[in-house]
Amino acid sequence: MQQRRFKQVDVFSDQAYRGNPLAVVLDGSGLSTDDMQRFARWTNLSETTFLLPPTAEAAASRADYQVRIFTTAYEMPFAGHPTLGSCHAWLEQGGVPKTPGRVVQECKVGLINIRQNGARSSFAAPTLRRSDATPALVQALADALGLPRSAVLASQHLNNGPSHFGLLLDSPQRVLDLAPDFVQLRAAMQGAAITGVGVASVDGSTGPVGLIVRSNREARAFSGNAAPVAGANRPHEEPGVEVRFFFDHGHGVGEDPVTGSFNASLAQWLIAQGHAPRDYTAAQGTCIGVQGRVHIHQDAAGQVWVGGDTTTCIDGMVTL
């Protein structure tokens, strides 16, 4: 065992202790997978990451570092808040990107581009695979969430590394009022081989796209013309989408404070189907006392960027 640099950071909030916490071991060299999993279980956070030098192949593609991401029960191929939090910790510790203004992170799904805009970073959403669900699964999830089937406007299997499921509901208040039966929800999730179920609603005053053209101000704010990058200081950053996410952490189902991977796949789906504008801010964690804010932007090339603020809460050493 040795002393290693360690940080605990808060992601997707500009206020400490109001986002999603992440533990980051800045030098994971020499640790086995079992060592990493044991420490992640001990931190008892939703995710713990370990930074390593990139593999030779990734380094040839200008990767800056490699990250391994663990929940308390298993390793993840990709996750959003560990991506932004690990990048923040690496830069704060003195990391210098090979390409100025862009960090390239290696993880199990491949290389993830991260760009900075002031204090806020944004990652390029990885390739999404999505498919329709059976009516039986949608009904089972609606029942587990305490929803009438009529409240579900659209649904989709979403996979960008983690396998999630998305439900678009008819109002933000419906999202906030959910009272899930976690036992029933876990059974439905396991039957469909999904690790998380997310619900969202687009505020009618800012979307869907078909509605915002009624207002010239909103149309200018959310149109693709001269759209700023994710993380830029935009005048309209009030949340236009409300999100909740329920996941199986190995010991049952819980609610995640803020979920970057789900918001990435959610944005790709909603924007592609015309349910949401190309730029919006999502709120998550409202019902559990968190003020998570996820900033979404789709650029002219169609790439979705997922941005968020990050704050260091603990900075020191860990014996590991």
Q: Domain limits of the chain?
A: 3-125+309-319, 130-294
Tell me whether the CATH fold assigned to 3-125+309-319 matches the one assigned to 130-294: yes
- Choice among 70-84, 226-240, 278-292 with the minimum mean pLDDT: 226-240
Q: What pLDDT score does 206 carry?
A: 55
Q: How confident is the model over 132-149, as a mean pLDDT?
A: 97
Residue 89, judged by CB atoms within 10 A of its CB (0-12, 13-18, 19+), counts as buried
Q: What pLDDT score does 115 carry?
A: 96
Residue-averaged pLDDT of the chain: 90
Q: Which helix (H) or strand (E) holds 245?
A: strand 241-248
| pLDDT surpassing 80 at residue 318 | yes
Architecture per CATH, domain 3-125+309-319, reads as Roll (3.10)
- C-alpha R_g of the chain: 19
Asked whether the beta carbons of 239 and 283 are under 8 A apart, the reply is yes
- pLDDT confidence bin for 252, thresholds 50/70/90: confident
Nearest to 207, CA basis, from 221, 197, 196, 195? 221
Q: Calculate ∠ Cα 183-186-188, nearest 5°.
A: 110
Q: What pLDDT score does 276 carry?
A: 97
Q: How confident is the model over 248-263, as a mean pLDDT?
A: 91
Q: What pLDDT score does 188 carry?
A: 96
- Choice among 201-205, 228-232, 254-258, 315-319 with the minimum mean pLDDT: 228-232
| pLDDT surpassing 90 at residue 242 | yes
Instruction: Indicate which residues carry an active-site annotation.
Output: 47
- pLDDT confidence bin for 151, thresholds 50/70/90: very high
Q: Strand 279-284 relative to strand 292-298: parallel, antiparallel, unpaired?
A: antiparallel
Nearest to 241, CA basis, from 278, 215, 213? 278
| pLDDT surpassing 70 at residue 230 | no
| pLDDT surpassing 70 at residue 220 | no
pTM for the whole structure: 0.88
Q: How confident is the model over 158-179, as a mean pLDDT?
A: 96
Q: What pLDDT score does 205 carry?
A: 63
How far lies 100's CA from each of 31, 114, 231, 301, in Å?
A: 30, 11, 17, 21
Which CATH superfamily includes the segment(s) 130-294? Answer: Diaminopimelate Epimerase; Chain A, domain 1 (3.10.310.10)
Q: Which residues, in sequence order, are bridge partners of residue 131?
A: 157
3-state DSSP assignment of residue 28: coil
Report residue 30 as tokens. Answer: 């020499």
Q: How confident is the model over 164-189, as a mean pLDDT?
A: 97
Percent of the chain with pLDDT over 90: 85
pLDDT tens-digit profile of 49-106? 999 999 999 999 999 999 999 999 999 999 999 999 999 999 999 999 999 999 999 9
Q: What pLDDT score does 227 carry?
A: 35
| pLDDT surpassing 70 at residue 258 | yes
- pLDDT confidence bin for 208, thresholds 50/70/90: low
